[in-house]
Amino acid sequence: MGRRSAPFGARVLGRPDQSVRALRLRVQLLLTVMLVSTNVIAAGVVFLIASFVVPAPRPTSAMVVALAIAVPTYVGVAVVIGIGVGTRLSLRALRWATLGREPDLRQRLAALRVPLWLTVMQGALWLGATVLFTTLSLALQPERALGSGVAVGIAGLVACGIAFLLADFVMRPISARALDGLAVTHRPRGAGVGGRMVLFWCFGTAAPVGGMVVASVVGLAGDDDVRERLPFTVLAISAVVLVFGLLTTVLNARSIVAPVISVRDALLDVERGDLEREVVVFDGTELGSLQAGFNAMAQGLREREQLRDLFGRHVGRDVALAAAARGVELGGEARVVSVLFIDLVGSTTYATRHEPAEVVRTLNRFFGVVVEEVDRQQGLVNKFIGDAVLAVFGAPVDHPDHATAALAAARAMARRLVDEVPEIDAGIGVATGEVVAGNVGAASRLEYTVIGDAVNSAARLTDLAKEVPGCVLAAWQTIETATPDEAEHWKRHDPVVLRGRHEETETGVLCG
């Protein structure tokens, strides 16, 4: 439930079905707070390093005053420009999302590139800061120019890396809407997961370490005072490397792990039987393809399950399972089974005297009783023949006592139909014997069926049953094969010569 309540990997991003207004406010507020905070903190770190840590002569009073004025001034101007330009840039690219419209391909791609555009804007602002403070140092204290430029430049690279990750995180709800329905071939070609990991290693680790190397070279080339401060400089820059490198690594790891976790949790739900489970696709890299691939897989499983359900409804669950296990091919096998045949009495007359809708409702109630009782006794409703039903007990799955099951189903049907479908009667016949059970037809269109004397006998007994009390007639062989508890419900009836036979068939009817 935890991941379902945070489909984008964090609850702060809301739900996929949040309103357009909530989405606009959420994205704008989170982008502003996170990006401004990141750059202000980075600017503060730069000020401290440039003023007190860089291995260069101590800043003169004029340099300190200039930095005290220039840093907050530039930060303020950068914040205003960043918010103004960044907000305008984002809203223009996301206008379709904030208005609740369906985007075209160009708008989808523009929305996915917003984090990159914001990062480029951040880079431009930090490049301006690097030029400004390097020039300021050259004018007031030239020996500090290299250290100041390196400090600002490195901090800018790290801040840009973090800004991209934060913007990419905040934009997940928008990215999900942009990726919805976007073909994989149309997605923006980026560096991918591997390239992004290398890139952010450069931002979070290589750049600060490079700064440390520059600081060491400058310190060793300086005077005694600068060399004495070198250990403290290395410690300070190391702290920056650890803090900002860790932050960049954690954010990058979370951006990679979140899509993987969403797919993992969804797979667990599918394993538990929830085939309706889907994940929100919010990543534009290979991980987004993984999310989309899961959804395609789940859709395929749902379609397969639906086909299997439909197949099972048409041919019977046991036939469907047997086909899935052994494959489907033409041919059959000899089996001894019990066959139940049930047919309505006077259905044609009933249909002419009632509305079609009422006839259908009556038939459905009739078929409902028949199917329930056959299923209860672990039989197979082999086919519906107009208003008649052919059921088999003992094929395609073996039944240890198919005769008892067929007779018990016949008794239950007769009893229930009197109470639940009183407006129409039905004759029921039951017979036991050897049949050929299997798939008949053509390679492109086949049907599972049973063929044999037992089927014909059950059909003939059904016709005769319409004239006996209780409308149920069974071959006495079936009653003798059943258990004593079931056989006691039946009594002998007059022997009959079934159509197509020359010898008499012993029969039995329900007692009472």
Instruction: Give pLDDT, residue 164.
Output: 82
Instruction: Give pLDDT, residue 2.
Output: 46
Q: E strands, 230-359, where?
A: 331-345
Instruction: Give pLDDT, residue 17.
Output: 76
pLDDT tens digits, one per residue of 38-71: 777 777 767 666 655 555 666 778 877 777 787 7
Please state the pTM of the whole predicted model: 0.57
Tell me the CA distances in angstroms from 486 to 95, 261, 373, one per residue in order: 75, 57, 15
Instruction: Give pLDDT, residue 51.
Output: 58
Tens of each residue's pLDDT in the chain, 512 residues? 445 557 777 788 888 777 877 877 888 788 788 777 777 777 776 766 665 555 566 677 887 777 778 777 877 777 777 777 776 777 676 777 767 677 777 877 777 788 888 888 888 888 888 888 888 888 887 877 776 777 777 777 777 877 888 888 888 887 777 777 665 555 555 556 777 777 767 766 776 677 667 666 666 665 565 566 666 666 766 776 677 777 777 777 777 888 888 888 888 888 888 888 888 887 777 777 777 788 888 888 887 777 666 555 544 555 555 545 554 444 578 889 999 999 999 888 888 888 989 999 999 999 999 999 998 998 888 888 888 999 999 888 888 899 999 999 999 999 999 999 998 899 999 999 999 887 777 766 667 788 899 999 999 999 999 988 888 999 999 999 999 999 999 999 989 988 877 788 999 998 86
- Rg for the chain (alpha carbons), in Å? 40
Instruction: Give pLDDT, residue 187.
Output: 56
pLDDT tens digits, one per residue of 86-115: 767 776 767 777 676 777 778 777 777 888
Burial class (CB in 10 A: 0-12, 13-18, 19+), 214: buried
Instruction: Give pLDDT, residue 18.
Output: 79
The dihedral formed by the CA atoms of 175, 181, 182 and 183, expressed in degrees to the nearest 10 = 140
Instruction: Give pLDDT, residue 1.
Output: 47
Q: Which helix (H) or strand (E) holds 335?
A: strand 331-345
Residue with tokens 């990750």: 165
Residue with tokens 């750059």: 39
Query: Which tokens sit at 3?
Result: 């991941």
Pair type for strands 388-393 and 331-345 = antiparallel
Task: Parse the chain into domains and list their residue ranges.
Answer: 11-291, 329-510
Return the number of other C-beta atoms located less than 10 Å from residue 332's C-beta: 18
pLDDT tens digits, one per residue of 285-312: 777 777 778 888 888 888 777 766 655 5
Instruction: Give pLDDT, residue 106.
Output: 80
Query: Which tokens sit at 414?
Result: 């007769």
Q: Which CATH class is domain 329-510?
A: alpha beta
- How far apart are alpha carbons 82 and 159 in whole angstroms? 13
